[in-house]
């Protein structure tokens, strides 16, 4: 997966003190040089909570034997997590100033521990599983970037199977390399040829283990100067922005860490601003409680705008499950209530301080610190923490000893709607195991599967999260299930024929930053039939190789009846989808009578007739015939 650096890596380390250092080239305790910790981009590193540490330890014990978890991550040593690009989710973990390993969530398998040399060094003396013993004569070949061949194996843990993550050790328990087994234990011991282990990390390293311990309070105290500098700059920015725009100012608070930091900054700035909380109706119960707790603790005014009770589940009847590329829910449950709250409470406009950070995404990296939202009339957005990374945010929250959302301690690194389609499968698993609200979603998905004739895998792998899954996901699903994803997403039952009507949600999407229209037809579409008429609206027309969706310029029509229209200009998106709906009706109602052929300047030669259907053979011919009808 491609990695993008969205900002400077601010995690540094003093090796003499074994101390995490925020930003500065010199250790704030001893004054010696600090060094940058090697991280995979984007490098939005965060503190590990006990849930994260327990997960890593459990995986270490399961894969390599009891005692490996505590040997890898001993108590008293602050641990950091860094989300790295992956098909689902992968987190590197950092301790004693080194990125020593990672955990990865694989579809169909769940979490796995991926060792590096430093983590292997820590567990090698206590391993009772997952090891392969190398002959001394083969060590130099492995450390010269070669795989471990079967003749170089003198022993292996009996539990080792093909595909397992393994650690290659010497007979005296020195870690040499890590890799993936290409043979079962018995085969690699007995075989005289072939690759036993495909190596990944093999360069020799000296152990990097410190006996110096710290609490998080001590780490934060040591970095107090940098934290205070960030506070001073951000609070100054807030005062200057308020003076410049001369509008009522508020803090937008979602219940997540970034908006919490922004709220705390407003308090530190002495502003005591009203707090706007848009309750989408899809929040965790704990998030709603947290918002009220924070507002009460700091004595602030709360403006809570709630989405209509049936905004989401009422619209599911028409739109079906939201998806990463079909986020109709952002408009019904987030944008609509936000606009309503601003128009009702701030008719002359408002300045909203928002916890946006450039490390979150490329779109937010390029957005700037102050912006005017064209889709939320009257709102000017400003982010005091635009250049902060997650460490700045968490160190500040720890510094203020402020309460934070309990879901961060349960394994989530971002807080949003409990069923958000942008969630990783690993996150949905966490939510399902900790929130009673997810039961309602499970019930809906089960009923949807039954009504639409979908296989169980559609729900098991959360394939509802895409209308058009990326190729990497398609390949992984096929690898895990042995089935093509189109067979797992195709609906074999369709609603009964009836009047054709369309439900529409349109506007700026706060989740993806852009204008789009999502629509849902009352029944499926014959996209093969529609394709013949598609050239009326544009020259780029075609059915995807999966046979499940049709593209017409910047619009996509799915066989099941979902439609997406995107455009740079709002009116273009509206006009396009209106014309598309008219075209769908025309294609559905056409009986092939050929009466419209009389309007064709090219005559009958411009049309091909296939049984009951007559379709144009070129874009210009189609427009000559049907444009007058559509107009």
- Residue 364's pLDDT band, with cuts at 50, 70 and 90, is low
How far apart, in whole angstroms, are the C-alpha atoms of residue 621 and residue 606? 6
Tell me what pLDDT residue 539 has: 65
Rounded CA-CA distance 242/238 in Å is 6
Most confident of 476-485, 535-544, 571-580: 476-485
Spatial separation of the C-alpha atoms in residues 121 and 279, rounded to whole Å: 48
Residues 101-148: tens digit of each pLDDT: 999 999 999 999 999 999 999 999 999 999 999 999 999 999 998 999
**What is the biggest distance separating any 2 CA atoms in the chain, rounded to whole angstroms?**
90
Segment 380-431, tens digit of pLDDT: 999 999 999 999 999 999 999 999 999 999 999 999 999 999 999 999 999 9
Beta bridge partners of 324: none
Percentage helix, strand, coil for the chain under 3-state DSSP, each rounded to 5 = 40, 20, 40
The pLDDT, as a whole number, for residue 524 is: 86
* CA–CA separation, 162 and 184 (whole Å): 5
585, containing H or E segment:
helix 570-589
Residue 594 has pLDDT above 90, yes or no: no
Q: Please provide residue 625's backbone torsions phi and psi, each rounded to the nearest 5 degrees.
A: -85, -45
Q: How many CB atoms lie within 10 A of CB 92?
A: 22
DSSP 333: I
Report the alpha-carbon distance of residue 354 to residue 369 in Å, rounded.
10
**Alpha-carbon separation of residue 207 from 72, 192, 214 (angstroms):** 12, 33, 20
Q: With pLDDT > 70 as the criterion, what percentage of the chain qualifies?
A: 88
The stretches of 158-256 forming alpha helices (DSSP H) are: 185-190, 216-222, 224-245
- Judge whether 323 and 558 are in contact, CB under 8 Å: no
DSSP states along 245-275: H-S-EEEE--SSHHHHHHHHHHHHTT----E
State residue 495's pLDDT score: 67
Is 372 strand, coil or helix? strand
Q: Give the pLDDT confidence of 193-222 residue by residue, as tens digits.
A: 999 999 999 999 999 999 999 999 999 999
Of residues 508 and 289, more confidently modeled: 289
Instruction: Determine which of 90-99, 163-172, 423-432, 574-583 has the lowest per-residue pLDDT on average.
Output: 574-583
pLDDT in tens, 327-355: 889 889 998 899 899 999 999 999 999 99
Q: What pLDDT score was predicted for residue 361?
A: 56
pLDDT at 611: 34
**What are the residues whose beta carbons fall under 8 Å from the beta carbon of 194, sequence distance 6 or more?**
149, 150, 182, 183
CB–CB of 538/553 below 8 Å?
yes
Q: Give the residue-averaged pLDDT of 549-562.
A: 86
Task: Compute φ and ψ for 161, nearest 5 degrees.
Answer: -120, 160
pLDDT for position 546: 78
Tell me how many degrees the CA angle 385-388-394 measures, rounded to the nearest 5: 100
Q: How distant, in Å, are the alpha carbons of 255, 332, 581 from that of 316?
A: 25, 11, 20
pLDDT tens figures, 426-473:
999 999 999 989 999 999 999 999 999 999 999 999 999 999 899 999
Digit-coded pLDDT (tens) for 463-513 = 999 998 999 999 999 999 999 999 999 988 876 666 787 888 766 555 555
Secondary structure letter of residue 405 according to DSSP: -
The whole-chain average pLDDT of the chain stands at 88
Residue that wins the pLDDT comparison between 613 and 458: 458
Higher per-residue confidence, 403 vs 619: 403
Higher pLDDT, 579 or 623: 579
pLDDT 10s digits, 27-39: 999 999 999 999 9
> Is pLDDT at 515 greater than 80 in this prediction?
no
Q: Residue 61 pLDDT > 90, yes or no?
A: yes
pLDDT-wise least confident of 71-85, 233-247, 575-589: 575-589
Q: Is residue 593 pLDDT above 70, yes or no?
A: no
Element (H, E) at 303: strand 302-306
Point out the least confidently predicted range of 274-283, 438-447, 579-588: 579-588
- C-alpha to C-alpha distance for 139 and 149, rounded to whole angstroms: 11
Confidence of residue 531 (pLDDT cuts 50, 70, 90): confident
Mean predicted confidence (pLDDT) in 232-236: 98
Q: What pLDDT does 584 receive?
A: 85
Return the DSSP state at 237. Answer: H
Residue 596 pLDDT class (50, 70, 90 cuts): low
User: How far apart (Å, rounded) are the C-alpha atoms in residues 66 and 538?
Assistant: 64
The rounded distance, in Å, linking the Cα atoms of 321 and 419 is 10
- The pLDDT of residue 56 is 98
Percent of the chain with pLDDT over 90: 69
Q: How far is CA 431 from CA 313, 352, 620, in A?
A: 19, 30, 53
């Amino acid at each position: 997966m491609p990695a993008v650096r969205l900002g400077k890596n601010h995690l540094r380390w003093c090796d003499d003190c074994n101390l995490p250092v925020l930003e500065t080239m010199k250790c704030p305790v001893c004054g010696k040089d600090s060094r940058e910790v090697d991280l995979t981009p984007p490098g939005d590193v965060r503190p590990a909570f006990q849930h994260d540490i327990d997960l890593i330890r459990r995986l270490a014990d399961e894969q390599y034997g009891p005692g490996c978890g505590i040997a890898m991550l001993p108590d008293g040593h602050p641990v950091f997590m860094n989300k790295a690009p992956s098909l689902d989710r992968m987190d590197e973990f950092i301790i004693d100033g080194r990125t020593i390993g990672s955990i990865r969530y694989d579809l169909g398998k769940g979490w796995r521990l991926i060792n590096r040399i430093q983590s292997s060094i820590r567990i090698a003396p206590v391993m009772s599983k997952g090891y392969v013993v190398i002959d001394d004569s083969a060590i130099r070949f492995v450390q010269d970037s070669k795989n471990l061949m079967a003749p170089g194996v003198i022993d292996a843990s009996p539990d080792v199977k093909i595909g397992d993550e393994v650690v290659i050790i010497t007979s005296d328990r020195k870690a040499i390399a890590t890799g993936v087994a290409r043979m079962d234990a018995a085969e690699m011991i007995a075989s005289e040829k072939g690759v036993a282990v495909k190596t990944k990390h093999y360069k020799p390293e000296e152990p990097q283990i410190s006996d110096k311990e710290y609490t998080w309070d001590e780490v934060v105290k040591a970095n107090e100067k940098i934290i205070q500098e960030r506070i001073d700059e951000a609070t100054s920015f807030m005062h200057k922005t308020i003076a410049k725009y001369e509008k009522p100012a508020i803090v937008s608070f979602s219940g997540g860490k970034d908006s919490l930091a922004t709220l705390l900054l407003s308090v530190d700035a002495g502003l005591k601003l009203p707090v706007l909380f848009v309750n989408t109706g899809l929040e965790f119960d704990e998030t709603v409680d947290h918002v009220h707790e924070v507002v009460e603790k700091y004595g602030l005014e709360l403006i809570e705008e709630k989405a209509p009770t049936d905004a989401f589940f009422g619209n599911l009847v028409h739109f079906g499950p939201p998806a990463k590329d079909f986020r109709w829910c952002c408009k019904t449950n987030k944008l609509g209530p936000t606009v309503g709250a601003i128009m009702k409470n701030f008719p002359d406009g408002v300045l909203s301080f928002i916890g946006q950070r450039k490390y979150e995404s490329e779109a937010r990296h390029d957005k700037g610190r102050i912006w005017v939202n064209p889709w939320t009339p009257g709102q000017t957005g400003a982010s005091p923490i635009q250049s902060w990374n997650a460490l700045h945010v968490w160190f500040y929250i720890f510094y203020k000893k402020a309460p934070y959302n309990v879901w961060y301690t349960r394994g989530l690194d971002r807080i949003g709607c409990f069923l958000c389609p942008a969630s990783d499968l690993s996150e949905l698993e966490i939510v399902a195991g900790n929130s009673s609200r997810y039961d309602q979603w499970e019930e809906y998905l089960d009923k949807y599967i039954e009504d639409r004739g979908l296989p169980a895998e559609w729900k098991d792998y959360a394939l509802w999260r895409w209308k058009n899954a990326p190729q990497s996901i398609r390949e992984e699903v096929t690898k895990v299930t042995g089935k093509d994803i189109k067979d797992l997403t195709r609906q074999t039952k369709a609603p009964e024929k009836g009047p054709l009507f369309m439900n529409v949600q349109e506007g700026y999407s706060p989740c993806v930053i852009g204008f789009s229209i999502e629509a849902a037809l009352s029944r499926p579409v014959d996209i093969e039939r529609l394709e013949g008429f598609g050239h009326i609206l544009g020259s780029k027309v075609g059915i995807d190789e999966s046979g499940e969706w049709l593209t017409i310029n910047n619009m996509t029509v799915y066989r099941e009846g979902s439609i997406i229209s995107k455009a740079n200009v709002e009116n273009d998106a509206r006009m396009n989808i209106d014309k598309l709906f008219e075209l769908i009706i025309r294609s559905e109602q056409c009986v092939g009578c050929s009466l419209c052929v009389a309007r064709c300047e090219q005559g009958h030669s411009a049309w091909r007739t296939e049984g009951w259907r007559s379709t144009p053979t070129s874009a210009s011919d189609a427009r000559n015939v049907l444009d007058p009808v559509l107009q």
